[in-house]
Amino acid sequence: MATTVQSRPRSGGGRDRLAGPFGMAVLYAVLAGGALLTAFPFYYMLVTSTHRTSEILRIPPPMWFGAALQQNYLELLDALPFWASFWNSVAIAAVHTVLVLLFCSLGGYGFAKFRFPGRDALFAFLLATLMVPGFLGLIPVFIVFRQLGWIDTWLPLIIPGIANAFGIFWMRQYIESSVPAELMDAARIDGAHEVRIYWNVIVPVIVPALAALAILTFIGKWNDFLLPLLILKEEEKYTLPVALSTLRSLRGSEIGVQILGATGAIMPILVVFISASRQFISGITAGAVKGV
């Protein structure tokens, strides 16, 4: 560690200096240009949702906020049950996330801290399921849902993924590296029940991992489109993406209204992401890098 810190200024190349001062300026320009291109559609979204179609279809297009936000908002509420869909999405994602945290932390704990016959084979199987593409069972799983009487309910969106391979893998990695065995042994000697050990010893230690998994799961479920599109029939049960997907097909609808609807789906998640981007990104990368 110390050698690394010392040698950086001396070698002048650090670990991989890419270019001289002029080259560095070019690299920064590339990075900043890319970031601008990435951010521009968000800016366009916010600006456009405050304009009427007649203003949006002007040359040049509006680049600053307009005055039609309220009118667009009222028309959005007319076009679709926006808030009902919004709260449906919140409820589905929240319940699903809580169940994922419970079942995946239990599964991860089971794999990380117990040595039982068949453990390695069971874990290898779990990892292998990550490679099976989701559409393969899409049609028959729809029939399973129909047999269960789950069509047009939220159960297919909430239940099947609550103990999922990624979540269990992610919790196992964390528990294995951060929960000392002595902690559990001490509790066992005190005669604590296994469920008690999970709740009182394990859970308090793994809060950061739970937070990352919660954000990942919530965002994934919030944006989920294909399954709710298949399952939900009545408009009052729609999630936000399903409700929004009907907007494009409404002929002659106001562009600003459509974009405002998109803003309603994107902004809450973006706020959550920006306030917790560190945990989120660490959650995403854990599976990819530690997994290989």
Partner 1 sequence: MATQTVSMDARARAQDRRVMWREARRNGWAYLFISPFYLLYAVFGIFPVLYGLWLSFHKWDGISPMQWNGAQNYLKLLTDDIWWYTIYNTIWLFFGATVPQLCLALLLAFIINSSYIRGKDFFRAAYFMPIVCSAVAVSLIFGSMFGERYGMLNFALSAVGIPPIDWLGSAAWLKPSIAMVTVWQWTGYSMIIFLAGLQAINLELYEAARVDGARTRDVFWHITMPLLRPVILFQVILSIIGAMQTFDLPVMLAGGTQSSAPGGTDRAGLVAAVLLYWTAFKYTEFGYAAAMSFVLFFLIITFSYTYNRFQGRSPTE
Shortest separation between residue 38's beta carbon and partner 1, angstroms: 6
By rule CB under 8 A, what count of residues binds partner 1?
110
Alpha-carbon distance 287 to 169, whole Å? 8
Shortest separation between residue 5's beta carbon and partner 1, angstroms: 10
Alpha-carbon distance 146 to 260, whole Å? 35
- Interface pick for partner 1 out of 2, 22, 59, 207 (rule CB under 8 A): 59
Burial class (CB in 10 A: 0-12, 13-18, 19+), 278: exposed
Judged by beta carbon, residue 5 or residue 207, the one nearer partner 1 is 5
The reply to whether 292 sits near partner 1 by the rule CB under 8 A is yes
The reply to whether 249 sits near partner 1 by the rule CB under 8 A is yes
What 3-state class would DSSP assign to 137?
Answer: helix
Radius of gyration (Cα) for the chain, nearest Å?
Answer: 25
Judged by beta carbon, residue 92 or residue 126, the one nearer partner 1 is 126
Give the closest residue to 111 by CA, choosing from 152, 153, 170. 170
Site for partner 1 in 169-188 (CB under 8 A): none
The reply to whether 248 sits near partner 1 by the rule CB under 8 A is yes
The reply to whether 251 sits near partner 1 by the rule CB under 8 A is no
What 3-state class would DSSP assign to 164?
Answer: coil
Site for partner 1 in 102-161 (CB under 8 A): 103, 106-107, 109-111, 114-119, 122, 126, 129, 131-144, 159-161
Judged by beta carbon, residue 67 or residue 148, the one nearer partner 1 is 148
Site for partner 1 in 187-226 (CB under 8 A): 194, 198, 219, 222-223, 225-226
Alpha-carbon distance 230 to 144, whole Å? 13
- Interface pick for partner 1 out of 210, 237, 244, 279 (rule CB under 8 A): 244
Tokens of 106: 């239990």
The reply to whether 29 sits near partner 1 by the rule CB under 8 A is no
- Interface pick for partner 1 out of 93, 101, 158, 165 (rule CB under 8 A): 165
What 3-state class would DSSP assign to 238?
Answer: coil
289 neighbors 98 (Cβ within 8 angstroms)? no
Alpha-carbon distance 98 to 94, whole Å? 6
Alpha-carbon distance 41 to 47, whole Å? 10
- Region near partner 1 per CB under 8 A, out of 75-83, 178-186, 206-214, 271-279: 271-279
